[in-house]
Amino acid sequence: MKRVPLSGFVGALLVLLGGTVMLGWATKLSPLVRVLPGFTPMVFNTALCFVLAGGALLVPLSDAERYRRVTTAIGGALVVIAALVLAEHLLQKDLGIDWPSLQAWLHDTSKAPGRMSAGTACAFLMSGAVLILATRVGRPCMGAAVRLLTLGTATIGVLGLAGYLVSAPLLFPEYFFAGVAVHTATGLLVLAIGLRSAWKRFEWARTPLLVREDDRITAVGATILVAIALAAGIASFAVLQGRTQTLVGNNVLAALTRRTEMLRDLVELRESNARLAATRPAVLRNLRVIHAGRDDGSNMTNVRAVVDSFLKEGFSGLAYHDVDGKLVAGGGVFAKTPELAVTLATPDKPELIWDGGFVLRHHIPLRDATGEVGTVFADQPLPVLNRLAQNVLGMGATGDMGLCVARGDQLRCFPQKLNPRVFSIPLVNITGESLPMTRALRGETGVIITRDYRAQNVVAAYGPVGDFGLGMVVKIDAAEVFRPIREQLELALGVLVVLAAAGTVLLRSQVKPLATKLADANQAKDRFLASMSHELRTPLNAIIGFTGTLLMKLPGPLNADQEKQLRTVQTGANHLLALINDLLDLAKIESGKVELSLVPTDCRKVIDEVADSLRPQAEGKGLEFTVTVPQELTVRTDRRALSQIVINLANNAIKFTERGSVRIRAERRAENGSRVLEISVEDTGIGISPEDQRKLFGAFTQVDDSNNRRYEGTGLGLHLSQKLAQALEGRIELKSEYGKGSTFTLVLPEE
């Protein structure tokens, strides 16, 4: 099967993600555009950019010029869209690219519905630049820029996700990445992975950004140090944030409970006072006499005296009317046109009104044993409630108490500390969630962190006020609640940055001398091996040569024991020479001094030469030895390296196969949009267990058969072959079944 590259898989995921969200906007399905209610939705432009970026990652690399044109066009489109969005944010103007009519149906926290967040726009600007630059890298600085831009895209995704994990907008109200939707942040992280997979296929990406070993060690160590420090710091503050949130929630709930109980007691007390004014027997007798026209002046004086007495007891206005509705006696000041009046569900149905302050108004019928006598009108100010509403003690500068009633699809609210006028608000906030006050008027009680009618994050306790038909909310802005944590976090992050920087400097100061010594040791080793290669090979070649001469019996005849001993010497010398050659080749590869001559090479001829040299060894063991190679198989590669790899693979196959066959096969195939050459060596030998397969390509590694029999060899053949394959920009793949055989496949690019 054709293997799908990682970039192609990522591209398909991004197209699916963006297409799903675009479908959600078109069909008005909220679950498709945001993960959960109250979460930030992915806007249409963001979904479109994901589709474009995913399409760029799906373009095959088979035609380099076509690939460059397509990725450049898509990258340019991403840059243009992102730049326009950033211009909208900077200029605070609508440039007509937000599709507001398409997205008007969804409650959104954004002041400009449909507008991509600035953080998301920055990420797409960087990813578009990566698509444009990746195919044009000509200098190391351009390669570094592509790497950094890809890292920037991933960083925005990580910071967006971290914002959701630790509720960053509560700690930092102006958190730059707060507008990045959770699935947008995930998509950006996946996009960065896809971009890296795409540009890793180019030649320039195979050169490491940091060449010096000490620089690489320092960079990795510093990254780990910073990651651990930040993770520990953020985790600690997340725990502290949770505890603070619980403590503040308990406080606002306790404040709500105290205030609702106080308001109930206050209304009951004032209602008792009003009922007392309505049930004075002397007043009722006086009103009947006055209404009958028999008053000699004393009855009116008595009623007025009662009015005066109640005015002194805290009534702001009191009036007695007879049964015909005519005013008999009154005093004080009544509210004329209150801004808000709410009838309370108590036995006497008083009105809670606002007239520059809270006033409780009663209209109570007057009755005696013979029937209705008249009506008393009473206004009683509630200064205690005024103080409760304007001064939420112990709740900070943004602590507030709200008192509202439902009126259709609106809430009518009394003035409060942060909004000192009667006002009306919808039942839901800008995200479509029920406001805490709406929950209170439904009879619910609890604590919640949400956005209030001002679109501010608040910690709010809510609940009904008895059976009055009123709801009460006690709240405080989350920004104030978490300000101490935010200040400590900013200080701690600064300290962590300083510690990380100091740790990096200290690490480098310790690593650099070690790296320098290691480099000097490697150079000394290379110089030793280079200088000793002749001295090591010359005596061994002499031993092998003279031993061969003696075995050919040119100096004279040998007896059986002498011939046996000489063959042992010859075998040991050949083995030692092979080991020295492997060590020298490995030293050259590890030091980067292996010299490759990439020229058009007839692979069929190379494989035939290898087969001819190894055929006698295979036939000597009774093995079937076959070669299948197309007639025309010319590839640009290094002939010597190719020959050495095939020899090592075929020689191992023969060595580890006691019966059956060894087959060498070569063919061309397509991979990742380009053409590759495959040279496979298949045997029916001992096979390799899964445990041994994981360590097979390591240096000085050998495997044994089921009888624990050791095979002759240095254990460097496969390690060297893999290194040479990588130097040729290829690889060696293995498929094996223990006890049944193995197939080693050399995969090389044609160009």
Per the document, the length of the chain is 751
Cross-strand partners of 627: 664
Q: Which two tokens stand for residue 452?
A: 């209030």
Q: Count of alpha carbons within 13 Å of 214, Cβ hemisphere only? A: 17
Q: What is the mean pLDDT of residues 66-72?
A: 88
Q: Are strands 423-426 and 351-354 parallel, antiparallel or unpaired?
A: unpaired
Q: Please tell me the distance from the alpha carbon of residue 43 to that of residue 18, in angstroms, as a whole number.
A: 10
Query: Is residue 164 within 8 Å of 101, Cβ to Cβ?
Result: no
> 319 — phi, psi (to 5°)?
-145, 135
Query: Is residue 416 within 8 Å of 389, Cβ to Cβ?
Result: yes
Q: What is the mean pLDDT of residues 324-344?
A: 91
Q: Which two tokens stand for residue 711?
A: 């095979």
Tens digits of residue pLDDT in 196-230? 998 888 877 877 777 676 677 777 777 787 777 77
Q: Please tell me the distance from the alpha carbon of residue 746 to that of residue 744, in angstroms, as a whole number.
A: 7
Whether residue 574 has pLDDT greater than 80: no
Q: What is the mean pLDDT of residues 672-692?
A: 83
Q: Please tell me the distance from the alpha carbon of residue 746 to that of residue 730, in angstroms, as a whole number.
A: 7
| Segment holding 676, helix H or strand E | strand 674-683
Q: Please tell me the distance from the alpha carbon of residue 706 to that of residue 688, in angstroms, as a whole number.
A: 10
Question: What's the per-residue H, E or C state across 233-282?
Answer: HHHHHHHHHHHHHHHHHHHHHHHHHHHHHHHHHHHHHHHHHHHHHHCCHH
The DSSP output letter for 731 is: E
Whether residue 106 has pLDDT greater than 70: yes
| Segment holding 637, helix H or strand E | strand 634-638
Amino acid type, 350: P
Which region among 109-118, 372-381, 637-646 has the lowest average model confidence (pLDDT)? Answer: 109-118
> 525 — phi, psi (to 5°)?
-65, -45
pTM for the model = 0.63
Query: Is residue 589 within 8 Å of 724, Cβ to Cβ?
Result: yes
pLDDT of residue 711: 54
Whether residue 446 has pLDDT greater than 60: yes
Q: If pLDDT is split at 50, 70 and 90, which confidence band does 183 have?
A: very high
Q: Count of alpha carbons within 13 Å of 480, Cβ hemisphere only? A: 15
Amino acid type, 387: R
**Angle at alpha carbon of residue 482, lines to 259 and 449, rounded to 5°:** 55
CATH of 594-749, one of 3.30.565.10, 1.10.1240.10, 3.30.413.10, 3.40.50.2300: 3.30.565.10
pLDDT of residue 276: 93
pLDDT of residue 603: 87
Q: Please tell me the distance from the alpha carbon of residue 197 to that of residue 188, in angstroms, as a whole number.
A: 14
Question: What's the per-residue H, E or C state across 449-489?
Answer: EEECCCCCEEEEEEEECCCCCCEEEEEEEHHHHCHHHHHHH
pLDDT of residue 705: 54
The DSSP output letter for 40 is: P
CA distances from 397 to 393, 475, 477, 478, 482 (A): 10, 11, 9, 12, 13
Closest CA to 433 of 410, 406, 452: 452
Tens digits of residue pLDDT in 242-265? 788 888 889 999 999 999 999 999
pLDDT of residue 464: 95
Query: What whole-number percentage of the chain has pLDDT above 90?
Result: 35
- Give the fold, CATH level 3, of 388-480: Beta-Lactamase (3.30.450)
Q: If pLDDT is split at 50, 70 and 90, which confidence band does 1 have?
A: very low
CA distances from 188 to 22, 40, 58, 123, 320 (A): 17, 15, 16, 7, 74
What is the distance in angstroms between the CA of the first residue and the CA of the last residue of the chain? 22
Q: Please tell me the distance from the alpha carbon of residue 645 to that of residue 653, in angstroms, as a whole number.
A: 12
Closest CA to 19 of 61, 65, 56, 50: 50
Q: If pLDDT is split at 50, 70 and 90, which confidence band does 672 have?
A: low
Query: Is residue 43 within 8 Å of 116, Cβ to Cβ?
Result: yes
Tens digits of residue pLDDT in 723-749? 888 888 888 888 888 888 899 999 888
Whether residue 417 has pLDDT greater than 70: yes
Burial 399-408, CB ≥16 within 10 A → b, else e = bbbbbbbbee
- Domain borders along the chain are 6-209, 259-386, 388-480, 485-589, 594-749
Query: Is residue 210 within 8 Å of 525, Cβ to Cβ?
Result: no
Amino acid type, 623: L
Cross-strand partners of 477: 458
Q: If pLDDT is split at 50, 70 and 90, which confidence band does 2 have?
A: very low
Instruction: Sort residue 167 into left (φ over 0), alpha (ψ -120 to 50) or beta.
Output: left
Q: If pLDDT is split at 50, 70 and 90, which confidence band does 569 have?
A: confident
In sequence order, what are the residues at sequence separation of 6 or more whose Cβ sits closer than 8 angstroms to the Cβ of residue 509? Answer: none
Chain mean pLDDT for the chain: 84
Query: Is residue 358 within 8 Å of 385, Cβ to Cβ?
Result: yes
* Fold: same for 259-386 and 388-480: yes
Q: Please tell me the distance from the alpha carbon of residue 505 to that of residue 501, in angstroms, as a whole number.
A: 6
CATH architecture of 259-386: 2-Layer Sandwich (3.30)
In sequence order, what are the residues at sequence separation of 6 or more whose Cβ sits closer than 8 angstroms to the Cβ of residue 175? Answer: 163, 168, 169
| CB atoms closer than 10 angstroms to residue 571 | 12
Residue holding tokens 């008083």?
350
**Angle at alpha carbon of residue 503, lines to 497 and 505, rounded to 5°:** 105
Q: What is the mean pLDDT of residues 8-23?
A: 93
Query: Is residue 373 within 8 Å of 287, Cβ to Cβ?
Result: yes
Tens digits of residue pLDDT in 293-327? 888 889 999 999 999 999 998 899 999 999 999 99
Tens digits of residue pLDDT in 117-132? 999 999 999 999 999 9
Query: Is residue 129 within 8 Å of 79, Cβ to Cβ?
Result: yes
Which region among 1-5, 181-185, 401-405, 571-575 has the lowest average model confidence (pLDDT)? Answer: 1-5
In sequence order, what are the residues at sequence separation of 6 or more whose Cβ sits closer than 8 angstroms to the Cβ of residue 259? Answer: 388, 401, 472, 474
Q: Please tell me the distance from the alpha carbon of residue 546 to that of residue 539, in angstroms, as a whole number.
A: 10
Q: If pLDDT is split at 50, 70 and 90, which confidence band does 78 have?
A: very high
